[in-house]
Amino acid sequence: MATLIQKVQTLINANLHAIVDRALESNSVEVLDEYIRQVANNLDALEDSAATVGGTVRTLKRKYDEFAQGAEKLDRDIDTLIVKGKNDLAGAAQAELNTKQQLAQDYYEQWQQQEGQYQQMLEMRLKLESRLTTIKQEREHLIALIELAAAKKVATKTIKSLDQLANVGDADVTRLTDQIRGNLDREDARLEMATKNISDQIDEAVRGGEIDIQLEERRRRLGMSSGGDGAAGSTSGGGDAGGSSASS
């Protein structure tokens, strides 16, 4: 998994300007074709891995919900047992409740961790798809540019970059060269914005889960009803109620 993520990140961070310049220097689009093949292959592998992680996320959430709901029911049962004076059964139930709460917390933490990784993989897939679309489009533009340069007798074999080709003094060549550079610049800008957004989203999702738990604990202490249907809050609430039952 780590190796795949590293490969994908390398492809995402690849300098498209440099790739196009190498293709131009060699007067061939083979460099672009190789990049396209690598992106396509790793995109397939990333989609398979993301599906696996996504399945794990759903499994962990289901297990968390099961233990959280079981803990809530057991917590209510302990109160009933105490009221009826069945302290031995209440003690055994309290021990079971503690175990369920710990398991629920463990599943919750795993779920959140895997969810963060899953969202990151989905974002990486979108970025990689965007890079693939861009380079495929610029492949066609580069072919047209090479053919145009050849038709106008521009010595493309001596040209090493788009910047050099833009200065040959031909309006048509310059226009097409500027178009390619502009498209690549826009793709780099999209990648920069996407990179900033995903890290913010993951941090916000993790922080949001912690805040929900903290607010739910405060509502419990204040004797207020739940302010939402968040599953995380119910587990923490069960822990408080269970603790108070044990001390009764």
Q: Which residues contact 105 (CB under 8 A, 6 or more apart)?
A: 235
DSSP string, 126-145: HHHHHHHHHHHHHHHHHHHH
User: pLDDT tens across 55-90, in order?
Assistant: 999 999 999 999 999 999 998 988 888 888 888 888
Helix, strand, or coil (residue 80): helix
> Do the Cβ atoms of 31 and 23 come closer than 8 Å?
yes
Helix, strand, or coil (residue 169): coil
Rounded CA-CA distance 219/216 in Å is 5
Rounded CA-CA distance 7/83 in Å is 61
Rounded CA-CA distance 157/159 in Å is 5
Rounded CA-CA distance 142/27 in Å is 10
Which tokens belong to 202? 């993951």
Tell me the HSE value of 73 on the side-chain side, using a 13 A CA sphere.
6
Rounded CA-CA distance 216/232 in Å is 9
Torsion, Cα of 61, 65, 66, 71 (10° steps): 140
Amino acid symbol at 62:
R
Per-residue pLDDT of the chain (248 residues; tens, 9 = 90+): 668 888 998 998 888 888 888 888 888 889 999 999 999 999 999 999 999 999 999 999 999 999 999 999 998 988 888 888 888 888 998 899 999 999 999 999 999 999 999 998 999 999 999 989 989 988 888 888 877 777 666 655 566 677 777 776 667 777 787 878 787 778 878 777 766 665 566 556 555 565 566 667 666 766 776 544 444 444 444 444 344 333 33
Q: Which residues contact 132 (CB under 8 A, 6 or more apart)?
A: 36, 39, 40, 43
> Do the Cβ atoms of 145 and 174 come closer than 8 Å?
no
Torsion, Cα of 143, 147, 149, 151 (10° steps): -170
User: pLDDT tens across 201-229, in order?
Assistant: 655 655 556 556 666 766 676 677 654 44
